[in-house]
Amino acid sequence: MSFKDKLLSSYIALEDYLEFDSPLHDIRNTAIKIFEEKGFPSKKEEAWKYTSLNSLLKNDYSVYSNKERNVELKNVRKYFLHEIDTYKLVFVDGVYNSFLSETTHDTLDVCLMSSALNKSKYKPIIETYFNKAAKSDSLTALNTAFTKEGAYIHIPAHKEVEKPIEIINFSTGNEASMFLQPRNLIVVGENAHVQIIERHQSLSSNEVLTNSVTEIFAEKRAYVDYYKIQTDEATASLIDNTYISQQRDTVCRVHTFAFGGNLVRNNLNFYQNGEHCDSTLKGITILESKQHVDHNTLVHHIAPNCESHQDYKGLFAESSTGVFNGKIIVEKDAQKTDAFQQNNNILIDDKATINAKPQLEIFADDVKCSHGCTIGQFDEDALFYLRSRGIGLKEAKALLMYAFANTVLESVKIPELKVRINKLIANKIGVSLGFEL
């Protein structure tokens, strides 16, 4: 039985436990039909030309975890930004772990998708927002059909959340290979501010494939600062589908740190539905061995007078491969759009590959759009400068790589996170940081 067939029959089994005749059930049914029709994407599709899921889909994944597995704090402490100073939503093999989590209902809701779907007090929010920004491509639809657990975050109007929220998905290796589908819904009310950190972390060397969907809604003047930390094990793969719907005067920023995992596909979609939206998409990708990371971004400029800034930097060693596919659509009404896209890559070894493809579809006539893409080696003048100070060629290159990646960190607004990522980069590249004045 193919994995697709296994999923389709699992859905039939799931239906027995589902709410009947609810709008949500209809959404699930529609979604599973889409998946049934389209199946998993193949390389024949333009958007999947450079990323193949074939080898991953050969695994016999468990769709549900049979046993609950406990995770001890001392073993996973290092994956948290803070023990106390953050809200936490921790899932272990797709199941909520209350011991490691810190939720709240005090003025804001940081809780579970499962309770939001089942309790009537959340009904208006679910009906207004759930699956409203997500596209109906086959992978998103697959997640929608199986929606069960994930983060539910609702920040009411004018609330400035005082500490970051961490969403952490652990997989224990309890099953030989595991398929996970977290589903997150984040609604940020008018003039509310929030910072969120998301990570997926495998705790064993068993295979994991995660197909995650996150919908973020920013109501007018909201501020959303989102960080994706992708430093997973070499046997863990991730398909991340994130949809951000912005109303007028909102600022939404997503930083993606792609340093680990086997195969990672980031489908990051921004929709600017009101005037004066500001969208920032930044990424640092540092890969080695046979790792593969595909950044597939979309910025859809629908309303006028908006800005978008994309800056992705990649360092590719050994036989790793990278893809940057950045699409900007400027609708006819989106006059005075200012869209900027930059993608710089360094290939460290001969066998490393990067496929970069900017796509601009502009239907408005009064816009400022610029994009730049470089695939390069090292700046000779900079190398000579460093070497003339006694720094050997290997270290000089490492220092330049570190510098190259480090520039993206300037816009990280959580100081502890900045320090952590900075150290990760330094370790990855092999430069010692020592002290700063």
Under the rule (CB under 8 A), what is the footprint of other proteins? 379-382, 384-393, 395-396, 399-400, 402-407, 431-437
Strands (DSSP E) contained in 58-171 are 87-92, 95-96, 109-112, 151-155, 165-171
Please say which residue, 350 or 436, places its beta carbon nearer to other proteins. Answer: 436
How many angstroms separate the CA atoms of 68 and 61, rounded? 17
Least separation in angstroms between residue 396's CB and other proteins is 8
In the numeric block, the tokens 């991340």 are attached to 240
Q: Where are the alpha helices (DSSP H) in 16-111?
A: 23-38, 54-57, 73-76
Structure tokens at 96: 């909520």
Structure tokens at 72: 């001890």
Least separation in angstroms between residue 421's CB and other proteins is 13
- Please enumerate in sequence order all residues whose Cβ is within 8 A of that of 356, keeping only pairs 6 or more positions apart, or say none: 323, 324, 325, 343, 345, 373, 375
Beta pairing class for 183-188 and 151-155: parallel
Please say which residue, 57 or 382, places its beta carbon nearer to other proteins. Answer: 382
356: Cα separation from own chain's centroid: 19
Least separation in angstroms between residue 386's CB and other proteins is 8
Least separation in angstroms between residue 429's CB and other proteins is 11
DSSP string computed for 170-235: EE---SSEEEE--EEEEEE-TT-EEEEEEEEEESSSSEEEEEEEEEEEE-TT-EEEEEEEE---TT
Least separation in angstroms between residue 347's CB and other proteins is 19
Please say which residue, 62 or 422, places its beta carbon nearer to other proteins. Answer: 422
Please say which residue, 218 or 429, places its beta carbon nearer to other proteins. Answer: 429
Give, in order, the Cα–Cα distances in Å from 410 to each of 82, 251, 405, 406, 414: 21, 17, 10, 8, 11
Least separation in angstroms between residue 393's CB and other proteins is 7
Least separation in angstroms between residue 315's CB and other proteins is 12
Beta pairing class for 353-362 and 307-316: unpaired
Please say which residue, 107 or 388, places its beta carbon nearer to other proteins. Answer: 388
Please say which residue, 263 or 426, places its beta carbon nearer to other proteins. Answer: 426
